Amino acid sequence: MNSKVQSLKDFLAGQGRIALVEVAGTKGSTPREKGAFMLVSREATFGTIGGGQLEYMAIDKARQTVASSFHRKLEGKEARIEVDEVCATLDVPLGPEIGQCCGGRVEVLIRLVDSALAAELVSAAEVEEAHLPHVYIFGGGHVGQALASTIALLPVHGVVIETRAEALQGMPETVETRLTPMPEAEVRNAPAGTAFAILTHDHALDFLIVAEALKRDDAAYVGMIGSKTKKATFRNWFLKSADGSDAEFARLVTPIGGDAVKDKRPQVIAALAAAEIMTALVSHNTAPNADRPHDREMAG
C-alpha cells in the first residue's frame, strides 16, 4: 500500500527546490478553505488550492519565486551569502478580472520549502492520515473493484477485505487489502466511525458481515448491495436467527447507492455509493460530540 503521505515525501524528495502555495485567508465564496495548499516545483505540482485562474496565477508566481531563489542562491554562493527564505503573497479578487465568478477574495502565501517546513508538512500529513475515516469494502468483485478505485481518490482510508486472493489483484495502490477466511471478524476490530460497504460474491457471507456491522452502533454507514428481495430475506433472517432488532435493521442501507438511477453498471453503482458513503461520513463526523481531529493550520 502506497500512502498519500508517502506520495508527499516522494514529491518533496524528488523535485528540487519547491514552493509552498497556501490559502492564508478567504472572504466570501472561494474554491478552497483557509489552510488548503499545494506544492509547486519548476516542472510539477502536488495538491490544489481550487483550480481555475486563481491556481494558474499562484503556480506562475510560485515558479517565479523558485526561479528567483535559485538565481539569488547562486549569486549568494559566489558572494558567500546564503539566501534561504523567499516569500510572496497574492491578494486575488475572484471576479471577472481573472475569469472567475466566485465573488470572494483569496489571500495566497507563497514560500520556499526548506527542511524544517518539509518536516512540518509531512508531520501534518501524517496526523491527518491517522485521523482519516475508514471505509471497509467487503468483496473485490466488479463493484468492489470500482468502488475501491473511486474511494482511492477521496480523503478516506480504504480497506478491501476478501476471502479470495485473486479478487484482491489490481486494487489501487493507496487502498489497503486484507485476505481473511473470516471477514466478519474484521468488522469487530474496525475503528469507530467506519463505513461498511458489503458486496461479496456470497449472499450468506453478506448477511454475516451485515449482522456484525449493525451491532456496531458507532458505525457511520452500513450498506449492502442487493435487491428488495435480498433485503426482505436478510430482514427475516436477521430478526429470527441473528438476534437483531428492527431498530438495528433500520440502519441498513440497501441497495447501496440508492435506486433513483436505474443503472447497474459497476462504475455507476460505485460512484453513487461513494457519494452516499461520503455524505454519511461527513454527517457522522460533524454530529455533536463527534470525536474528530482539530482542523490543521500551517504555521506562519
Question: Both 209 and 236 in a single domain?
Answer: yes
pLDDT tens-digit series, residues 196-234: 999 999 999 999 999 999 999 999 999 999 999 999 999
**Domain endpoint, select from 129, 159, 177:** 129
Question: Both 53 and 195 in a single domain?
Answer: no
Question: Both 114 and 201 in a single domain?
Answer: no
Amino acid at 170: G
- pLDDT of the residue at 59: 95
Q: Is residue 274 part of a domain?
A: yes
Q: How many domains does the chain have?
A: 2
Distance of alpha carbon 230 from alpha carbon 221, whole angstroms:
19
Q: Is residue 299 part of a domain?
A: no
- pLDDT of the residue at 288: 62
Question: Both 167 and 279 in a single domain?
Answer: yes
Of 60 and 82, the structure prediction assigns the larger pLDDT to: 60
Question: Both 58 and 118 in a single domain?
Answer: yes
Question: Is 80 exceeded by the pLDDT of residue 295?
Answer: no
Task: Provide the domain limits for residue 91.
Answer: 13-129
Question: Is 50 exceeded by the pLDDT of residue 260?
Answer: yes
SS3 160: strand
Question: Both 141 and 123 in a single domain?
Answer: no
Question: Both 107 and 167 in a single domain?
Answer: no
**Domain endpoint, select from 97, 129, 161:** 129
pLDDT tens-digit series, residues 228-248: 999 999 999 999 999 999 999
Amino acid at 142: H
Q: Is residue 294 part of a domain?
A: no
Residue among 156, 155, 158, 212 nearest 183 (CA): 212
Of 77 and 211, the structure prediction assigns the larger pLDDT to: 211
152's enclosing H/E stretch is none
Question: Both 221 and 254 in a single domain?
Answer: yes
Least confident of 16-20, 249-253, 293-297: 293-297
**Is residue 126 within 8 Å of 3, Cβ to Cβ?**
no
Question: Both 153 and 265 in a single domain?
Answer: yes
Question: Both 172 and 237 in a single domain?
Answer: yes
- pLDDT of the residue at 71: 55
- pLDDT of the residue at 300: 37
- Claim: this prediction has a pTM higher than 0.85: no
pLDDT tens-digit series, residues 23-59: 999 998 888 999 999 999 999 999 999 878 889 999 9
**Domain endpoint, select from 80, 102, 129:** 129
pLDDT band (50, 70, 90) for residue 190 = very high
State the CATH number of the domain containing residue 174: 3.40.50.720
